[in-house]
Amino acid sequence: MKFIVSSTYLLKQLQVLGGVINSSNTLPILDNFLFELKDSKLTVSASDLETTMSSTLDVESDKDGSIALPARLLLDTLKTFPEQPLTFVVEDNNTVEISSNHGKYALAYADGNEFPKAVELDNPSTTTIAGDILATAIGKTIFAAGNDDLRPVMSGVFFQFSTEGLTFVATDAHKLVKYTREDVKANQVAEFIMPKKPLNLLKGILAANDDAVTIEYNDSNAKFTFENSVLVCRLIDGKYPNYEAVIPKENPNKLTIDRTQFLNSVRRVSIFSNKTTHQIRLKIAGAELNISAEDIDYSNKAEERLTCDYQGDDMQIGFNSRFLTEMLNNLNSDEVQLEMSLPNRAGILTPIDGLDAGEHVTMLVMPVMLNS
Binned at pLDDT 50, 70 and 90, residue 149 comes out as confident
User: What's the rounded mean pLDDT across residues 125-138?
Assistant: 94
**E strand or H helix at 217:** strand 212-217
Instruction: Please write the tens of the pLDDT for every residue from 233-246.
Output: 999 999 999 999 99
Instruction: Give the chain's mean pLDDT.
Output: 95
Q: Could you say which of 114, 141, 156 is where a domain stops?
A: 114
Q: Tell me, what's the pLDDT at 63?
A: 86
Binned at pLDDT 50, 70 and 90, residue 62 comes out as confident
Check whether residue 307 and residue 292 sit in a common domain.
yes
Q: Tell me, what's the pLDDT at 335?
A: 97
Check whether residue 133 and residue 216 sit in a common domain.
yes
Q: Could you say which of 114, 146, 165 is where a domain stops?
A: 114
pTM of the model: 0.92
Q: Give the separation between CA 56 and CA 44, rounded to whole angstroms.
A: 6
User: What's the rounded mean pLDDT across residues 47-53?
Assistant: 96
Instruction: Please write the tens of the pLDDT for every residue from 196-225.
Output: 999 999 999 998 788 999 999 999 999 999
Whether residue 169 is predicted with pLDDT greater than 70 in this model: the reply is yes
Instruction: Please write the tens of the pLDDT for every residue from 226-276.
Output: 999 999 999 999 999 999 999 999 999 999 999 999 999 999 999 999 999
Check whether residue 195 and residue 258 sit in a common domain.
no
User: What's the rounded mean pLDDT across residues 340-360?
Assistant: 94
Q: Tell me, what's the pLDDT at 38?
A: 93
> Quick check: is 341 in a domain?
yes
**Three-state SS for 356?**
coil
Binned at pLDDT 50, 70 and 90, residue 167 comes out as very high
Q: Tell me, what's the pLDDT at 372?
A: 60
**Three-state SS for 39?**
coil
Binned at pLDDT 50, 70 and 90, residue 117 comes out as very high
Check whether residue 195 and residue 290 sit in a common domain.
no
Instruction: Please write the tens of the pLDDT for every residue from 321-333.
Output: 999 999 999 999 9
> Quick check: is 119 in a domain?
no
Q: Give the separation between CA 206 and CA 38, rounded to whole angstroms.
A: 27
Structural domain boundaries, residue 323? 247-368
Is residue 325 within 8 Å of residue 270, measured between CB atoms? yes
Count of beta carbons in the 10 Å neighbourhood of residue 94: 12
Check whether residue 107 and residue 88 sit in a common domain.
yes
Tell whether the torsion through CA atoms of 324, 329, 330 and 335 is positive or negative: positive
Check whether residue 204 and residue 187 sit in a common domain.
yes
Task: Return the amino acid letter for 70.
Answer: P
> Quick check: is 14 in a domain?
yes
Whether residue 181 is predicted with pLDDT greater than 70 in this model: the reply is yes
Whether residue 371 is predicted with pLDDT greater than 80 in this model: the reply is no
Q: Give the separation between CA 77 and CA 74, rounded to whole angstroms.
A: 5
What percent of the chain is modeled with pLDDT above 70?
Answer: 100
User: What's the rounded mean pLDDT across residues 162-183?
Assistant: 96
Q: Give the separation between CA 184 and CA 255, rounded to whole angstroms.
A: 31
- Residues 6+ away with beta carbon under 8 Å from 28: none
Q: How many domains does the chain have?
A: 3
Q: Which of 296, 266, 286 is nearest to 371 (CA)?
A: 296
Check whether residue 136 and residue 69 sit in a common domain.
no
Domain CATH number, residue 93: 3.10.150.10
> Quick check: is 40 in a domain?
yes
> Quick check: is 120 in a domain?
no
Is residue 22 within 8 Å of residue 207, measured between CB atoms? no
Q: Tell me, what's the pLDDT at 209?
A: 84
Instruction: Please write the tens of the pLDDT for every residue from 69-89.
Output: 999 999 999 999 999 999 999
> Quick check: is 262 in a domain?
yes
User: What's the rounded mean pLDDT across residues 174-200?
Assistant: 95
